[in-house]
Structure 1
Amino acid sequence: MSESIDCYLWMNSDWAYLGADRLDALARRHGATVRYMPVDLPAVYARTGGILLPLRAPERQRYRVAELRRWCRRLGIHVEPSPKFMCPDATLASRIVIAAGTGGPEVVALYKAILRAEWCEERDISNPRTLADIVTACGLDAQALMQRAHTDDVARTYGEFTDRAVAAGVFGSPSYVYRGELFWGQDRLDFLEEAVLRRLS
């Protein structure tokens, strides 16, 4: 049985985008399964003391930009710190990813494409047409996936993922949970890999 990693992410998370390729590569190296679980991060913040970016002190907002630039240089990835459509309502995007499943290459490609659309291509990921175009570009059936995304079942799952995240101690995105241990942020992927290696050794 393969090792399992839970990835809790907000579909507006620039940091989740920066960690996406490395998480996928980590899982492939060790034959691990990743369960991708989009969450309602504003709801998580409301329950764990988090503060949404526009409400943070200017000093914290400036430091976020500095850190993004550092990580972009290190990883060779471009992210626009303040894109044209920054952090719109991520509900539909989250439900579309949930409708596609919690794992597998199609889900990985889809969630990365949605994050890339916001942070690299400056597209509005709250717009259903934009999302349908992204789904289609990923080789998936946009009509079927959009219909499923609007079902009560997917809506409940979205709420359940958010509740599970809080129960697991999650307070930010991305967060990875492996065998009950929480790793917050893409800059903790090395520690996550060390934990997996210890288990496999």
Structure 2
Amino acid sequence: MKVETIDYYFWMNSDWAYLGADRLEALAERQNIRVLYKPVDLPNIYYRTGGQLLSDRSPERRAYRVLELKRWCRKLKISINAQPAFMCPNADLASCIVIAADRQGLPVGPLYKSILHAQWCQDRDISSERTLLDILNERGLDGGRLISLARQSDIADVYRYYTDEAVSAGVFGSPSYVFQGELFWGQDRLEMLEEAVEAAMGRSE
């Protein structure tokens, strides 16, 4: 029997991906659906789709982001620092570590959430190999081996492929979820995503 899947495209610097992470996994468990974790190079996607990095946005847009984060944190009872000490550093190595772990059959959900938590809740620099090694070791993983695997060219190829695939699927921001070709952008669309899954599986009333 075929197991349905959700293509989950996310940036390893995405505060919104962090806010939606637990709810996505709960959705997948409720609906018996598999999540395919696909870290992407969001600055590259922005360049190709007309998006703007946070540093390039107007003061009004930056201020509203903080306001929305505070609202969602209150709603979800999750605490994050909207302006951490190391905000949105280079996420390429972190992304490749997640891909390498996935290809090794390791649980990806707890790992990528730990990296996001390090940035948004602990003021740690996730562009630092030392920081990433510490995070991996804290999770009981072989950090040195995973970082070595993450630096291999085939993992970089997968990272680029996921980024290209995301653009082809219409993705322009993080987090984005694609189910049966339909795109849902943002953790605030998880309820609609679940409704689509239920309808496709004949579970809606």
CA contact (8 A) 1:36 1:103 kept: no
Q: Which ranges in structure 1 are unaligned for 5 or more consecutive residues?
A: none
Equivalent residue number for residue 10 of structure 2: 9
TM-score by length of 2: 0.96
Structure 1 residue ranges, 4+ long, deviating more than 4 angstroms after superposition: 102-105
Find the aligned partners of 1:35 and 1:26 in 2 and give their Cα distance.
13
| Percent of aligned positions that are identical | 60
- Deviation per CA, 1:122-163: give whole Å up to 9, x if none: 100001011011111122111110100000000100000000
Find the aligned partners of 1:164 and 1:139 in 2 and give their Cα distance.
32
Equivalent residue number for residue 186 of structure 1: 187
**In the TM superposition, what are the counterparts of 1:105-116 in structure 2 within 5 Å?**
106-116=107-117
Equivalent residue number for residue 54 of structure 2: 53
Equivalent residue number for residue 30 of structure 2: 29
Find the aligned partners of 2:103 and 2:67 in 1 and give their Cα distance.
32
Partner secondary structure for residue 37 of structure 1 = strand
TM-score by length of 1: 0.98
Find the aligned partners of 2:186 and 2:104 in 1 and give their Cα distance.
20
**In the TM superposition, what are the counterparts of 1:119-158 in structure 2 within 5 Å?**
119-158=120-159
Aligned-partner residue type, residue 55 of structure 1: D
Aligned-partner residue type, residue 32 of structure 1: I
- 1:101–1:12 distance in 2 versus 1, CA, 3 Å: same
Partner secondary structure for residue 101 of structure 1 = helix
Deviation at 1:183, TM superposition (A): 0.2
- Deviation per CA, 1:54-79: give whole Å up to 9, x if none: 11011000000000000000000001
Deviation at 1:102, TM superposition (A): 6.3
CA contact (8 A) 1:93 1:126 kept: yes
Find the aligned partners of 2:103 and 2:34 in 1 and give their Cα distance.
10
- 1:80–1:54 distance in 2 versus 1, CA, 3 Å: same
Deviation at 1:169, TM superposition (A): 0.1
CA RMSD in angstroms, aligned pairs only: 1.2
Deviation at 1:104, TM superposition (A): 6.7
Equivalent residue number for residue 198 of structure 1: 199
Q: Which ranges in structure 2 are unaligned for 5 or more consecutive residues?
A: none
Find the aligned partners of 1:24 and 1:104 in 2 and give their Cα distance.
17
Deviation at 1:105, TM superposition (A): 6.8
Find the aligned partners of 1:68 and 1:58 in 2 and give their Cα distance.
15
**In the TM superposition, what are the counterparts of 1:73-88 in structure 2 within 5 Å?**
73-88=74-89
Matched length:
201
Deviation at 1:103, TM superposition (A): 9.7
Find the aligned partners of 2:24 and 2:4 in 1 and give their Cα distance.
13
CA contact (8 A) 1:35 1:102 kept: no
Find the aligned partners of 1:5 and 1:137 in 2 and give their Cα distance.
28
